[in-house]
Structure 1
Amino acid sequence: MTLEKRPVPTDPKYDDYDYPIEAPEPKPGHPGFTTPEQDAQVAQLRMMLEAAGYTERLDTLSMLRFLRARKFDVEASKKMFIDCEEWRKTFGGGLDDLTRNFDYKEKPQVFAYYPQYYHKTDKEGRPVYIEQLGKIDLNALRAITSDERMLQSLAVEYEKLIDPRLPACSRKQGYLLETCCTIMDAKGVGIARAGQVYGYLQQASGMSQNYYPERLGKLYIINAPWGFSGVFSVIKRFLDPVTVAKIHVLGSSYQSELLSQVPKENLPKHLGGDCLCEGGCELSDAGPWRDPQYAKPAKWEKPKVDTTAPAAPTAGEEAPAAPATTTATEAPAAA
């Protein structure tokens, strides 16, 4: 099927982008390649959510992600969005405030037992996310931190992926990037350790699947233990074919395929690349989001504007009368 490129129909009430918003490839339901029916479904979903009292994160790109995650079933997309917003209100005392104020002071100690970090980009310009599963030692971690703190850190890093990481990458590439390239290194994972970490990983993967839809670009599971490929061949029968196509299970001879996706100079040396960041790649947070040419402050870093109060008059001006009704929905929501 040939997809016709079309302008992204934005809504000035919610869409406030300072980076490219057209997808680089013609994929159904992606920005720049939607049908008139899909554009109408975006408007319908937004209208239904407004009627339910929601005023934030109703921008066009977000609406499209939730709709794609539910095959453009508007009712199912609405439920997924509401479930996500209700989770955001309660998680960590409120995810918006948590993101602004989270201080992961124990991070260097935690990473000694569970490195999980964003580091530079793949060949398509997406952020690369790395986890070293074989180092996980939950007993040691719980002497330093808690499962709750680790999950909070994961959520905060997802928020930072959305802004500022992906916008910076989109500016650098000149097209919209909404996903990341994930590398999970299973070296050292054995049956004895797998049981110890299963509960935590289940919570972490549930967060990704339920509250951050359409954020996975590619997933490489490297150093997969013997027998894992057979297990995965059974699991993938229950997964969406689109998701299965993103997952690559590789053994210890993974370097050639991984380096076809990630430039050698961007890949940490312990994974077969050339990169040796000062202080360690896992703590560097290196990427376009650190480059002044592409980086901009995240919208969640900016103080919220009180749209219920009239602007202060300048010298010599008379203060304007307050409007009869003004709501927060009159200000653009964060993209």
Structure 2
Amino acid sequence: MATATENQTAPASKYDDYDFPTTAPEAKAGHPGHTTPEQDAKVEQLRSELEQEGYTQRLDTLTLLRFLRARKFDVAASKAMFVASEKWRKEFGTDDLARDFEYPEKTQMFKFYPQYYHRTDKDGRPVYIEKYGRIDLNAMSKITSDDRMLKNLVTEYEKLADPRLPACSRKSGKLLETCCSIMDLKGVGITSVPSVYNYLSRASGISQNYYPERLGKLYLINAPWGFSTVFSVVKSFLDPVTVEKIHVLGSGYQTELLKQVPAENLPKEFGGTCQCEGGCEYSDMGPWQEAEWAKPPKWSTPKQDKDVTQNVDTDLEKKSEAQEAPQPTA
């Protein structure tokens, strides 16, 4: 088997419409810019099989590589994962959420369950923060529903894919496909976990099944007594690649966390120096808000405009084909 070569690039596809760097910063086999000929062939095989079944969206090389890496480059398993994801997207209405979903109860909800993106880590990736200690499902159920909470979560995943990661890639000058997550467990006791298990398990399932290869690093901070013991059992069931990304830290987490996130980018409550006006959890600050790096996301085009554009493109293709077709002679 050939070895991965740094900066090696798979043949471009008509689906590869990128306006940001497409080479991964680390030369890991199977990552963009570091693929083997065999891996490139599997990308083409997966794309071809999906096209034959009528799929026309999300067939770009970066997306297919993420699904292939998630299934160890087993084409059949990757295809099954992709098909299941597309089915879920259609049923959940995912394609329109980023553009259409509104979450006016956000400020009230954040009193119980803050979850937000905020600036970047030292690798240039978006930092995602969740605070579990204040979760109160009874209080939250009076404000919103599990379904709307999940829709908000999915909306943010869609915005992570575009515009957040593309903007971070442009600013850093390298492809960034993952984020750095901080899960604050302060105030969470082992006995309180079951009360939020249903929602969190659904949220975790969405992440693993439909948004593969998006986790760069995960810091579990303020881990309660006994958590490390529980996690040591849990991680035996996890993929070693995933385990390598997870760091369980107690209350003295600041030194370790600041090795990954610059102090000026980390909210003050976590040991950093950032104090966004109005609160870091509401600012959504990052390269995706900076004019030099931000670009309108592809989903921002109104659906009716997309339909018109697609119809025009189809008409032009048909017209071109008709002009190129041999004309009958008299």
- If the length of structure 1 is used for normalisation, what is the TM-score? 0.91
Are the structure 2 counterparts of residues 175 and 225 from structure 1 closer, same or farther at C-alpha, using a change threshold of 3 Å?
A: same
1:1-335 to 2 correspondences below 5 Å: 3-91=4-92, 94-303=93-302, 304-306=306-308, 309-310=311-312, 322=319
Q: Distance in 1 between matches of 2:116 and 2:11?
A: 33
The aligned amino acid for 1:72 is: F
Distance 1:146 1:307 in 2: 36
Identify unmatched segments of 5+ residues in structure 2. 323-330
| 1:249 partner amino acid | V
Q: Which runs of 5+ in 1 are unaligned?
A: 314-318, 326-335
**SS of residue in 1 equivalent to 2:220:** strand
Q: Aligned partners of 1:239, 1:309: CA distance in 2, in Å? A: 46
Q: Counterpart of 1:316?
A: none
The letter for the 2-side match of 1:158 is Y
Which structure carries more relative contact order (alpha carbon 8 Å, separation 6+)?
Answer: 1
Shift of 1:187: 0.1
Structure 1 CA distance for aligned equivalents of residues 5 and 318 of structure 2: 48
- Which protein is richer in helix relative to its size? 2
The question of whether the paired residues in 1 share the 8 Å contact of 2:10 and 2:35 is answered with: no
**Does the C-alpha gap of structure 1 residues 233 and 10 become closer, same or farther in structure 2, counting only changes over 3 Å?**
same
Percent identity over the alignment is 67
Paired amino acid for 2:36: T
- Judged with a 3 Å threshold, the aligned counterparts in structure 2 of structure 1 residues 63 and 320 are, in CA distance, closer, same or farther, namely closer
1:271 to 1:13, Cα distance in 2 relative to 1, 3 A: same
Note the C-alpha offset of 1:322: 4.4
Structure 1 runs, 4 residues or longer, greater than 6 Å off:
none
Mapped partners of 1:18, 1:69: distance in 2: 25
More displaced 10-residue stretch of structure 1: 125-134 or 7-16: 7-16
Give the secondary structure class of the aligned counterpart of 2:127. Answer: strand
CA distance in 2: counterparts of 1:25 and 1:96, whole angstroms: 31
Contact 1:10–1:60, Cα closer than 8 Å, also in 2: no
Check whether the contact 1:121–1:266 (CA below 8 A) recurs between aligned residues.
Answer: yes
Q: How many residues align?
A: 318
Distance 1:323 1:190, change over 3 A: same
Q: Deviations over 1:100-145 (max 9, x none)?
A: 1001011000111100000000000000000000011111111100
Equivalent position SS for 1:248: strand
Q: Does the aligned pair in 2 maintain the 1:309–1:322 contact within 8 Å?
A: no
Q: CA RMSD in A?
A: 2.0
CA distance in 2, matches of 1:6, 1:191: 46
TM-aligned CA deviation for residue 323 of structure 1: 6.6
Partner in structure 2 of residue 331 of structure 1: none
Displacement of 1:76 in angstroms is 0.1
Q: Is the alpha carbon distance of 1:4 and 1:88 closer, same or farther for their aligned partners in structure 2, counting shifts above 3 Å?
A: same
Tell me by how many angstroms 1:6 deviates. 3.8
Do the aligned residues in 2 keep the contact of 1:310 with 1:322 (CA within 8 Å)? no
Q: Equivalent residue for 1:333?
A: none
Q: Secondary structure at the match of 1:135?
A: coil
Structure-2 change in CA distance of 1:34 and 1:2 (3 Å): closer
Q: CA deviation at 1:191?
A: 3.6
Amino acid of the residue matched to residue 124 of structure 1? Answer: D
Deviations 1:139-176, CA, capped at 9 Å, x for gaps? 11111000100000000000000000000000000000
Distance 1:321 1:169, change over 3 A: closer
Structure 2 SS opposite 1:56: coil
Change (3 A) 1:75 1:137: same
Contact 1:23 1:30 in 2 (8 A): yes
Helix, strand or coil at the partner of 1:306: helix
Q: 1:192, CA displacement in angstroms?
A: 4.3
Q: TM-score, normalised by structure 2?
A: 0.92
- Aligned partners of 2:11 and 2:286: how far apart in 1? 29
Separation in 1 of the partners of 2:109 and 2:135?
9
- How far apart are the structure 2 equivalents of 1:184 and 1:199? 17
Offset from partner CA, 1:83-113 (integer Å, 9 cap, x none): 000000011xx11122210010110001111
Q: Report the secondary structure of 2:124's partner residue.
A: coil
Shift of 1:12: 3.9
Q: Tell me the SS of whatever aligns to 2:82.
A: helix
